[in-house]
């Protein structure tokens, strides 16, 4: 049944969020730490386990796949509910800080990709070296 897949997805998300919340409390942060990431790992592990035991028929898969295929529309709705006016009204400081950070981090993507490909060595680029 399709709902089994959606329920599996919901189960993973709830368990992930609970673990993330507990992690946040343990670390003394008022925020959820990686709950969604943990939920993703859980879904990967559980679905792999079910697939190997042949317990993942097509209808069940559809219950999950619907939500991943509705991802882009949800992201468009998310974009449409951003506080764009506030971002635009933060003045030069907000603009400069945002632009500079994004450009620096984008520039670091190829640097890190290269490092990791031959035995990751973080000492190659300490954060203090970046302008």
Residues 44-103 that bind another protein (CB under 8 A): 44-45, 47-48, 61, 64-68, 70-102
Q: Which helix (H) or strand (E) holds 42?
A: helix 35-52
> Which of residues 3 and 88 has its CB atom nearest to another protein in the complex?
88
> Which of residues 53 and 86 has its CB atom nearest to another protein in the complex?
86
> Which of residues 18 and 65 has its CB atom nearest to another protein in the complex?
65
Q: Which helix (H) or strand (E) holds 91?
A: helix 91-117
Tell me how far apart the alpha carbons of residues 15 and 82 are, in angstroms, rounded to a whole number: 28
**Conformation bin of residue 57: beta by default, left when phi > 0, alpha when psi is -120 to 50:** beta
Site string (27-46) toward another protein, x via CB under 8 A: xxxxxxxxxxx-xxx-xxx-
Position 12 contacts another protein (CB under 8 A): yes
């Amino acid at each position: 049944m399709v709902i089994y897949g959606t329920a599996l997805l919901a189960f993973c998300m709830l368990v992930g969020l609970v673990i993330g919340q507990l992690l946040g409390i343990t670390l003394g942060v008022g925020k959820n730490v990686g709950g969604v990431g943990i939920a993703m790992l859980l879904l990967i592990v559980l679905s792999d386990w079910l697939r190997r035991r042949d317990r993942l028929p097509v209808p069940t898969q559809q219950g999950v796949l619907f939500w991943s295929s509705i991802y882009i529309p949800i992201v468009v709705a998310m974009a449409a509910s951003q506080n764009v006016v506030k971002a635009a009204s933060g003045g030069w400081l907000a603009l400069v800080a945002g632009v500079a950070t994004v450009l620096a981090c984008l520039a670091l993507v190829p640097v890190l990709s290269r490092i990791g490909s031959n035995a990751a060595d973080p000492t190659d680029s300490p954060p203090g070296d970046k302008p």
